[in-house]
Structures are given as C-alpha cells and as structure tokens.
Structure 1
C-alpha cells in the first residue's frame, strides 16, 4: 500500500470513498460541493491537500488536510479534517499510514501541530487514534447559524 498526494486521475476512486464517508456521518452534500472540494485539493494556491492510500491502482483510503495559521504558534497547524479507509482494507495499516503521511506533510511545511476530531461513537477509528495521538480533553462546539 502506497500513500501519496492525489492527482486529477484519483477523483473517481476518491469520489466513491467520499460518498461512503459522507454516508457514515449522515452528511449528504450536493455534488457541486464535492467537485469544488476536489478541485481545491489540486489547486496549489489552496491550503487544502488530499493524501490517498493506493493498493495497486485502487484508492482505498484518503486523508483531507487543511493547513492554517494559529494564534498560539509561530508556524501553522494541519487539521486532518477527513480520514476514511475502505472497509475491505481496515485493520491493514492504511489509516495509520495516512496519519503518518499527514504528520510528514506537516513537518515538511514546518507546521507545529496536527490535530483532528471524531465522533465519540466512532470506536473503530478511536482505537487507532488512541495509539497514535493524545486526547487533550477538548470539546467541540458548533455555533448556531
């Protein structure tokens, strides 16, 4: 399994996993938003990056990263906004490799932190996260808009 930056040819493989990810979180999106998002991943002027896990020619996982400044650091942070691995390869190291590649990306950009959030009920993902990261005890809130 190889991890690398997405290219335009990866869109179809990402798309099917993206839809499964959105279904898992019960978050339907219009196709135009998904198209816009993928375009941002490929735009060198956007602070967004898509890493993909490849098993041969198949995309079997992805990590969507957003780099941003922080009021608490000289250099930026990387927010691992989305991480998803196909059910067929779960438990085979793809998630861990995507997280490691995210950290490598952040280091290459001189970022000072990589962080992410997940739902409390996501026990499968949390089992991995508990092995590779610390849990700071923060609670996420969303403003009513």
Structure 2
C-alpha cells in the first residue's frame, strides 16, 4: 500500500535521491544552492508544497511539488503541479495517480479552481496516466529564460 505524506526535514535524503532522479530523467541540472533552497521552501510549506509517496516497506517511491497562485479567470486560485516523479521500479503501480490525487485533494481543500501541469511531449509513460486523470487542453507552452 502506498502512503502519501507532507515532506518533512527527516525526508531530506530520500527526497534528494528522488529529486536527482527527476532531474536526470529530464537531463537537467540545478545548482546545489537552488536544490537546498527548494527543499527548505517545500518543508516550510508556505508557498511551495511537497508530498512524498512511500511503499508498504516505507521506501520513498515518489515526490510531487505544487503551488497555488491567483488567476484572472476565477476569483479563487489555480494550483500548478510543478514536479512529479515516480521511481522507475515502481512506475505503473498507482503511485503517480496517488500523488496527483493528493494534490487535487489539497487544491480542493483550499478552494482552488483547477490543477494543471506540463510534461514533455515525448514522456509517453506519464502522458498515458495524464490522459486518464485529466484533460489535455491543446495549449502549447512557451517560455522566455531570464538572465539569472
């Protein structure tokens, strides 16, 4: 059975392993100070939130991070699911779905209007799940990197 709980300071090592796995999956890197800041903000649980999935033996098998923000098309907020990662050996077992459901429940609890997220178009495994639990909007994502 999978359990989902808020990320705490005691989860740091497990979180770091999953975070590094997530970055490796996307062939990305983040400076160590940014990783430390990210973990601290998740643990503070003020603007940035995080939860960890553990299997029946207590092993960390997934993480999710999200934030809520004001929106112009509703009087409430939108919830952005920013990061979702499930350890490769446990994919397809319901962990991703449980993490999404956790974020959905938290968003509903705070009165958010919707939960949304992005994924890479080549991430077929994740998209198979997303197509079951959400609706693809057809929007194309653009971004402008800023000089930081």
Interval of TM-score (by shorter of Structure 1 and Structure 2)? over 0.9
Q: Secondary structure at the match of 1:114?
A: strand
Q: Secondary structure at the match of 1:71?
A: coil
Look up the match of 2:108.
Answer: 107
Look up the match of 1:88.
Answer: 89
Worse-superposed segment, 64-73 or 123-132: 64-73
Gaps of 5+ in 2: none
Instruction: Tell me how far apart the structure 1 counterparts of residues 145 and 98 of structure 2 sit (CA, whole Å).
Output: 36
Q: Secondary structure at the match of 1:66?
A: strand
RMSD: 1.0
Worse-superposed segment, 135-144 or 92-101: 135-144
Look up the match of 1:123.
Answer: 124
Look up the match of 1:51.
Answer: 51
Instruction: Tell me how far apart the structure 1 counterparts of residues 8 and 79 of structure 2 sit (CA, whole Å).
Output: 20
Instruction: Tell me how far apart the structure 2 counterparts of residues 57 and 90 of structure 1 sit (CA, whole Å).
Output: 16
TM-fit CA distance, 1:144: 4.5
Deviations 1:35-70 (A, max 9, x none): 1001001114x3110011011322110110011111
Taking the TM superposition and a 5 Å limit, the aligned residue runs for 1:19-58 are 19-44=20-45, 46-55=46-55, 56-58=57-59
Post-superposition, which runs of at least 4 consecutive aligned residues in structure 1 deviate over 6 A? none
TM-score, normalised to structure 2, is 0.94
TM-score, normalised to structure 1, is 0.96
Deviations 1:13-55 (A, max 9, x none): 01001001101111101111011001001114x3110011011
Gaps of 5+ in 1: none
Q: How many residues align?
A: 144
Look up the match of 2:134.
Answer: 133
Instruction: Tell me how far apart the structure 2 counterparts of residues 52 and 60 of structure 1 sit (CA, whole Å).
Output: 8
Instruction: Tell me how far apart the structure 1 counterparts of residues 124 and 19 of structure 2 sit (CA, whole Å).
Output: 20
